[in-house]
Amino acid sequence: MPKHKASPGYRWAREHVLKSSAATAAWMFQVKLEESQWYSANQHLAYQTKRLGELLRHAKTNVPFYATAYKSADIDVSRDPDPATWRRIPLLTRAALQGNKAALTAARVPPDHGKSIAVASSGSTGTPVEALATELTGTWNRALTLRAQLWALKRFDYRLAVIRRYPNKVADYPAGRSLPAWENEITLPVVSGPVFSLAATTPTTEQVEWLNRHRPEVLLTYPSIFAGLLDAAASGELKLPGLRRILTISEMLADEVRVAARRTLGVEIFDAYSANETGSIALQCPEGHGYHVQSEALVVEVLHDDGRPCGPGETGRVVVTLLHNYALPLIRYEIGDFATVGRQCRCGRGLPVLTRIIGRQRNMLIGPKGERSRPALGWKYIKGMAPITQGQFIQHTIEKLEAKLVVARPLVEAEEARVRELLTSRMPQFSEVVFTYVEELPRSEGGKFEDFISLVGKPSPTADKGAARS
């Protein structure tokens, strides 16, 4: 293994680590992660194969769901799995996880994994997924959170502002919530600066006033919220002269938002791909070239519809296996997202690369031949054509698109015509574009916002109150 010097962020954090038991455990994991990120692809594969063999043996012995599934598929777990054996293991779908939680729960968990802890997805695109984790899983998640911040920031004594989902009255405008350290907000085991929090449901104008008041050096939020703030920054209403970094979570990050952040604020975005039931999946490379899969904690497969692994440049379904969760093992768990596989990163890390995180199938444009792609909406151009503050686009059929808009006033026919022309020039399959005007486009229970939804092959949603025009 080649020798690498510790990163500046690692060296800074080493001098500022907190002296609590939980922090110490996460820090010790991070010490190993600082080295293992430089392992070769073959070293990561050898490590994962050994961990997978241990996990499969535990699952077959202690988890009724897997004991039955592996017997039916004639899976031999006495040896660590080779690629052919691994591909015979059935995928675990979200529906199967939702309907078989009891059968997927281990009858016994090794004592050194600690207590079992309930976790759940946000249910942003359907029924929440309930699962279990362990204290060991939590330590891994804290260590990977620390890695993300080390890669993104190098140090943590900055003023942090967070705009995300909170329970009612926890971080409501105008006061929001103020805490003396990041530890209370994102569980970092290091000394840090103060953190200011605000509920994601706060209107953009009030978010702008709140940010101008607190003048953060780092902003953590959803891409859709930050995209709304960019307009205020471009007009001069939002003034953040000390801003050093934007951290985005939970939603798909469009390339145009990255470019706008650089152009408008002179600041780079660091993005993270995660899920509540899995923890961190992939983190943006510190050098900015794609997302590195967190191979020390999980295995990520990207598969074609027929189950074949995708190669570099190919897009497929994301399938995740957690290496250290023995309470409710997620083995070949089809999380519901799509991603594009990348080549080995020139940064020198041996961690696999995803070049794009595309999101759920319901957030992908379905083409005339059933092909899936990320829709090219041209949102920044649309907003310049009329007094539009927010929009959501719904594909009802292969040929029909609904533009659901929040506007200062309904668009006149000439404005609708310009928006329709732009949409059909970017997505020629749509012969029909209808406009619906609504007072608001609410976020999900998990705080997420979907700017594009495809209902092709799915039942139509309940119509919102509003006037529709074709």
Asked if 283 and 357 touch (Cβ cutoff 8 Å), the reply is no
The packing angle between helices 21-36 and 135-153, to 10°, is: 60
- What does DSSP say about strands 245-248 and 269-275: parallel, antiparallel, or unpaired? parallel
What is the reported pLDDT for 204?
87
Share of the chain above pLDDT 90, in %: 53
- Closest by Cα among 380, 469, 381, 385 to 433: 469
Contact in structure between 351 and 285 (CB atoms under 8 Å): no
Question: What integer pLDDT is reported at residue 468 of this predicted model?
Answer: 38
**Which run of H or of E encompasses 36?**
helix 21-36
Strands 315-322 and 269-275: unpaired
Question: What distance in Å separates the CA atoms of residue 75 and residue 88, rounded to the nearest whole number?
Answer: 7
Residues 151, 8 contacting (CB under 8 angstroms): no
Give pLDDT, residue 464.
Answer: 36
Let me know: does 264 contact 233? Beta carbons within 8 Å.
Answer: yes
Give the bridge partners for 283, in sequence order: 272, 292
The span from the CA of 316 to the CA of 322, in Å, is: 19
Rg (CA), the chain: 23
Cβ(442)–Cβ(124) under 8 Å? no
pLDDT at 189: 61
Question: Residue 352 has what pLDDT?
Answer: 97
Of the candidates 399, 421, 404, 396, the one whose C-alpha atom is nearest the C-alpha of residue 469 is 404
Q: Strand runs (DSSP E) across 251-307, as ranges?
A: 269-275, 279-284, 291-293, 298-303
d(CA 347, CA 343): 11
392-430 pLDDT, tens per residue? 899 899 999 999 999 988 899 999 999 999 999 988 999
d(CA 67, CA 75): 10
Is 33 strand, coil or helix? helix
The pLDDT tens digits for 96-113 are 998 999 999 999 999 999
CA distance 57 to 78: 7
Q: What pLDDT, on the 0 to 100 scale, is given for residue 79?
A: 92
**Model pLDDT, residue 458:** 54
pLDDT attached to residue 2? 45
**pLDDT tens digits, the chain, 470 residues: what are they?**
444 556 666 565 556 555 554 555 666 677 788 899 999 999 999 999 999 999 999 999 999 999 998 888 888 899 999 998 999 999 999 889 989 999 999 999 999 999 999 987 655 445 678 899 998 898 888 888 888 888 998 888 899 999 998 888 899 999 999 998 876 545 556 678 899 999 988 988 999 999 999 999 999 999 888 988 998 999 999 999 999 999 998 888 888 889 999 999 999 999 999 988 999 999 999 986 799 999 999 999 999 999 999 999 999 999 999 999 999 999 999 998 999 999 999 999 999 999 988 877 677 788 888 877 777 777 778 888 888 888 889 989 999 999 999 998 889 999 999 999 999 998 899 999 999 999 888 776 666 777 888 888 754 333 333 333 33
- Say what the pLDDT of residue 11 is: 64
Cβ atoms < 10 Å from Cβ of 185: 18
The 8-class DSSP code of residue 442 comes to -
Are 363 and 336 in contact by the 8 Å Cβ rule? The answer is: no
How many Å apart are CA 239 and CA 264, to the nearest integer?
11
Give the pLDDT score at 72: 82
Q: What pLDDT, on the 0 to 100 scale, is given for residue 18?
A: 56
